[in-house]
Structure 1
Amino acid sequence: MFRNRITELTGAEVPILQAPMGYISRAQLASAVANAGAIGMIETSSGDLDAVREEIRKMPTLAPDRPFAVNIAQAFVRDPSIVDFVVEQGVRFVTTSAGDPNRYTAQLKAAGLTVFHVVPTLRAALKAVDAGVDGLVVEGAEGGGFKNPRDVSTMVLLPLVASRVEVPIIAAGGIIDGATMAAAFALGAEGVQMGTRMVASAESPIHDNWKQAIVGAAETDTVLLNRHQAPAVRVLRTEVSERYEFDTDRNAMEAMARHMDLYFGGDLGAGLAFSGQVAGRIDAVRPVADVIAECAHDCLEVIHELGHRYPLDAHPVG
């Protein structure tokens, strides 16, 4: 169905990458994505590296002969031996984020891994390319989770970066279906990353209360917090997050003191529920395989339809 640099580099059938989300992007979810033909991802942003190592070990059993990826979130990984472990487990594709692309790129590439770096700006993209990465995950500010406080949307950032680099790009932020995937391709991407859509999937391990909060959200029901602190985060609009929306003195991450009660206990008052603006377009919790199959089919259908609707020879230039 798809053949481009992303599928060739990763071995995936469908160039859809599941986002690395702390405590969520573990083997249960990542294996479902991989078995559906896309790219499952194991997170490290939880900082719980003993558990992460065990999740990586599970993947060959849960998704045999299927490619998967690991994200190394540098701001949260304190033990550099995670790189050696990833290499030893036979992982072939890694994304790095939340830090300097020079830190691990050479070591990972020397071990034969494909390395993409997550970037929120053109400046960061050019730095990553100079560091020798194989590709980029270009992340617009409408996506959920950790963000650049100087937010720029995917519609602006993606074509800007694509115009300045030659490496393949995976687009993130605002991607939910075939139409948005096709739009990302039109803007210069060869793959897409989905986060919020995967959070609200049947295989996501988080409590159903969080999933239903996404399903019930309007397109305006996320907030970007910590513009004047670090890290900036996009989260669902709740009583907790609204207390920090215009607060320039406190760090909103202090609200995550009981985050496990949110993730697995379903208490939306116990933390910040990370989510992108696409929550406003999600109307049901669905199996990962259905989401990926529909997205892939509809993307190709949209591209085909546009080619027929606007044939080049019907609109001569000059």
Structure 2
Amino acid sequence: MMPVPMVGRGDALEELRNAWEQAQLLGRCVPAVITGLPGTGKSRLTAAAVQAMTPEVVLSGSARLHSPAPYDWLAAVLAGRGPRPELPVPPQALAWLAQDPDVPRERYTPDALLRLAVTTVRALAGGRPSVLMVEDLHALDPASLSLIAELAGAPLPAVLLVTSRPPDEAVNPRLTVRTLERLAGVPGAVRRHLAALSAGEVGQIMQHLYGSSTLAAAAWQHTGGNPYRLTELLAMAGTEQALAQLVHPPAGPAVPVPVPAARRPAALTAPEQAALTAREREVLGCLAEGMSNKHIATALGISVRTVTVHVSNLLRKTGASSRTEAALWAVQRPAG
């Protein structure tokens, strides 16, 4: 049986492998776009795909923490490469693309910068089998979206691996839709939307872990089929007997089933006693979806520092000793 994280994602993983083979065969950049809500496994799928592809070069970037700036994706790629290599791009233009401070901007037109950005990416890849990883397309700036669209189909043996939330959650919804349409229009492009797991897929996971799918329907209803919530629920339970108590609380007094010490959280405050503010509940929901402080800040339009304060308050109010325990506290409350 496939590893648990890939249950329900096997077809998508195979399609990504095929895109890689096609990119190497044809020598051109093949887009592969994975969309889905937080917690649906986009990162796990792309990580498994990159491992299966075994590229010589991986260029990975994402949006900035707060207000998007021109060429955020490329700036992140360059920042992650260590010492800046020699590239066939004017040093001043490269410094601008890298978002170095105090670089004059009026010297280059938008079209010229776009051509230089494409040249930079191609030079970094150097004609080698590559993966161009674009995380959170929905949060990128217009210049980065234009660059991503230009790279699709370029003469480069690479897969342009893109993750994104649905366009209606994007910083620039119209531009995001146009970019996704352009990517999808490239011959051989992969377009996958990850939804919640079905009850049957949750049953596969139960069978894999416990040799029984008796609790599949209850676990599916408890988590809404969200892969992240399901993973946290199973990690907290550890055993099938403990899971049964979590998804089917006893109606009357009962002797609790011991949870392995390594998985046992500290005594958590009951939901009705936590007295969370509306914003804290929003942050808690993001934690339960597996989001980092950076992603929570972007999603809620607040600073990372403010997110940190809210997380600290959540830990105090719920009695949790870590972000994971706070997320587990949220998971214990049935979805909906």
Output the TM-score relative to the length of structure 1: 0.33
Say which structure is richer in helix. 2
| Larger RCO (CA within 8 A; separation ≥ 6) | 2
Structure of higher CA gyration radius:
2
